[in-house]
Structure 1
């Protein structure tokens, strides 16, 4: 007789556990917006002769996007290092470039913001606010960290340490449309 109550208890617990497990929706395991990006550094090295021509940003349903417009002799670009860092340092001086947010992303491009004669190809109107991202979901600040010895660095302040991706878009030959570096940072994990 003692075996029957014990057996009923085990069956009851199994039934309750099954109900609890089945109550969790299948989508709870799905990634946010289907995003499967990570947060590790993204680096590409290729010989390029591009220059920074502009910086802009856009808001999307699942992520915020930063775009660096490039120009020069090629229609492709592939030399960058984008990663989370404790602090972004200014090119040349090494001074800290503080940005708002819970995490800092350093965007380093092997592309200067000047031509072969030293003439500026891009000059931010406000070094601390290159693009206005006030009130955005993920981006908190885009700051200029300088262009020195053939490299340009940006400090991207984001809400938190979130997944991101980096890719390039080719330019159009024989046009003013040069290649672009695109950085998307998800709104959530």
Structure 2
């Protein structure tokens, strides 16, 4: 008589085969060690940023770049300034004039954004509060009404091509009707200087930053 299994039930050949296969697989895993996690060179892939949104490539949508607005601060050196109400002055000499091709604007939750699109390198610029806007060259007062006036002047820059055809079309007053920004004004395109005036409901902190691909100036002003 054959000896019986401890339980008194003889295992089937199929069950024995399954058990042996499981033991063999366990031996292979033990020899290989624990499975490694997939590594990405330089770290894991970055999450998609706001600047990668394809809508931001549209010349009609100024809500590009990181979604952050003015929150208080002081002026830095370099390609951007921290938020403040102080005058900003950046000088750049020995460069070909940039061409202003358009000025766009849109409202965000706590600030309004203005984007000045450029053909060419970012030129020098000055941003300051003024009592009123006047037309470059003639000095005539521009008849707009607001609670505050922020003047942006780019130099060297033009808003026309070599044939004198305007590249920043329309205006000179462009209604905005945003949270704080009520109008954008082309204050001039004269002797290598282009003026962009922001008519605001009130004076508030602002921040200006240079951006590339394509080149542009991005200015945020708080509500």
Fold match by TM threshold 0.5: yes
- State the distance in 2 between where 1:121 and 1:168 align: 20
Q: Which runs of 5+ in 1 are unaligned?
A: 1-31, 172-176
2:220 counterpart (181, 184, 189): 184
Whether 1:166 and 2:202 are equivalent positions in the alignment is no
Q: Equivalent residues in 2 for 1:29-178 (5 A)?
A: 34-36=71-73, 37-47=83-93, 48=95, 49-72=97-120, 74=121, 77-110=122-155, 111-124=157-170, 126-129=171-174, 132-134=175-177, 136-171=178-213, 177=214
Q: How far 1:78 sits from its partner (Å)? A: 3.9
**For each residue in 1:32-77, what CA deviation from the matched residue of structure 2 results, as whole angstroms up to 9, or x when unmatched?**
98443210111111134311001100111111011110003x3xx1
- Choose 1 or 2 for highest CA Rg: 2
**Any idea what SS the aligned residue of 2:203 has?**
coil
Q: How far 1:185 sits from its partner (Å)? A: 0.5
Alpha-carbon spacing, 1:102–1:112, altered in 2? closer, same or farther (3 Å): same
RMSD: 1.9
Q: How far 1:166 sits from its partner (Å)? A: 1.1
**For each residue in 1:93-135, what CA deviation from the matched residue of structure 2 results, as whole angstroms up to 9, or x when unmatched?**
01112333200011111111023443322222x3122xx312x
Alpha-carbon spacing, 1:33–1:92, altered in 2? closer, same or farther (3 Å): closer
Q: What TM-score, normalized to structure 2? A: 0.59
Greater fraction strand: 1
Q: What TM-score, normalized to structure 1? A: 0.69
